[in-house]
């Protein structure tokens, strides 16, 4: 498994090995011991799967605040996405900074996003499927949405505002500053 720490070093890009043959490939997509060896000590309790019908769908930016903050291990199993994480931890040297990675069905890469970060993605292809493991269960009261295109964050999304397809919730999301007391 290849392990790369991104510009925000708590965000880790994991690329499990694929064993190819004439049938296709085999890959261990999750291995607790290898994750622990990479310094990721996470216990996952929920798996999610979403389908986005067209290129330019934006989901996010989302997080859950304590007591149900979630770490997420995200991968794209069909098509391609541009996956982004924003450090929302008060007092962190990276507070307000973002990093992104392309996750595709071909590269099999996974992004580890610890609790305390916002997460979102933009689909780069039609019919993009995303699957991710979470370290806590969904809790509506702890859910927060932050405006994907908040100028205070300056995220370089690979889609123009006019072409992005968002949920009603995400279109009405609060600016990043409203999350100020989310993670202390």
Ligand X SMILES: Cc1cn([C@H]2C[C@H](O)[C@@H](COP(=O)(O)OP(=O)(O)O[C@H]3O[C@@H](C)C(=O)[C@@H](O)[C@H]3O)O2)c(=O)[nH]c1=O
With b for 16 or more beta-carbon neighbours within 10 A and e for fewer, the 81-116 pattern comes to bbbbbbbbbeeeebeeebbbbebbeeebbbbbbbbb
Q: How many CB atoms lie within 10 A of CB 17?
A: 11
Catalytic residue among 49, 68, 119, 132: 132
Interface pick for ligand X out of 17, 31, 50, 90 (rule CB under 6 A): 50
Q: Cα 89 from chain centroid?
A: 16
Q: Least CB distance from residue 143 to ligand X, whole Å?
A: 7
45 contacts ligand X (rule: CB under 6 A): no
Q: How far is CA 174 from CA 1, 100, 158, in A?
A: 38, 21, 21
Q: DSSP letters of 107-166?
A: T--EEEE-TTEEEEEEESSSSEEEEEEESS---GGGEEEB-TT-TTT----SS-GGG-B-
How far apart are the C-alpha atoms of 162 and 13, rounded to whole Å? 30
Q: Least CB distance from residue 38 to ligand X, whole Å?
A: 21
The answer to whether residue 30 is catalytic is no
The answer to whether residue 62 is catalytic is yes
Largest Cα span, the chain = 53
Interface pick for ligand X out of 10, 12, 35, 60 (rule CB under 6 A): 60
Nearer to ligand X, 35 or 166 (CB): 166
Interface pick for ligand X out of 9, 48, 126, 177 (rule CB under 6 A): 48
Q: Are 63 and 142 in contact (CB under 8 A)?
A: no
Q: Least CB distance from residue 57 to ligand X, whole Å?
A: 9
Nearer to ligand X, 48 or 90 (CB): 48
Q: Least CB distance from residue 125 to ligand X, whole Å?
A: 17
For ligand X, the binding residues in 159-178 under the rule CB under 6 A are: 167, 169
Nearer to ligand X, 37 or 174 (CB): 174
Binding site for ligand X (CB under 6 A): 48, 50, 59-60, 62, 72, 119-121, 138, 167, 169
Active site members = 62, 132
């Amino acid at each position: 498994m290849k392990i790369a720490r991104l510009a925000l070093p708590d965000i880790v890009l994991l690329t499990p090995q694929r064993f190819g043959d004439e049938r296709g490939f085999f890959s261990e997509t999750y291995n607790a011991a290898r994750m622990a060896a990479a310094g990721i000590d996470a216990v996952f309790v929920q798996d999610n799967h979403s389908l986005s019908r067209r290129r330019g769908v934006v989901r996010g930016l989302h997080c859950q605040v304590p007591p149900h903050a979630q770490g997420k291990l995200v991968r794209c199993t069909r098509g391609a996405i541009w996956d982004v994480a924003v450090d929302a931890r008060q007092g962190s040297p990276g507070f307000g900074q973002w990093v992104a990675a392309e996750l595709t069905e071909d590269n099999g890469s996974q992004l580890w996003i610890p609790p305390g970060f916002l997460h979102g993605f933009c689909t780069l292809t039609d019919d993009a499927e995303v699957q991710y493991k979470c370290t806590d269960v969904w809790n509506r009261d702890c859910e927060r949405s932050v405006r994907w295109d908040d100028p205070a964050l300056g995220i370089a999304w690979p889609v123009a505002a006019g072409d992005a397809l968002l949920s009603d919730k995400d279109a009405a999301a609060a600016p990043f500053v409203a999350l100020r007391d989310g993670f202390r």
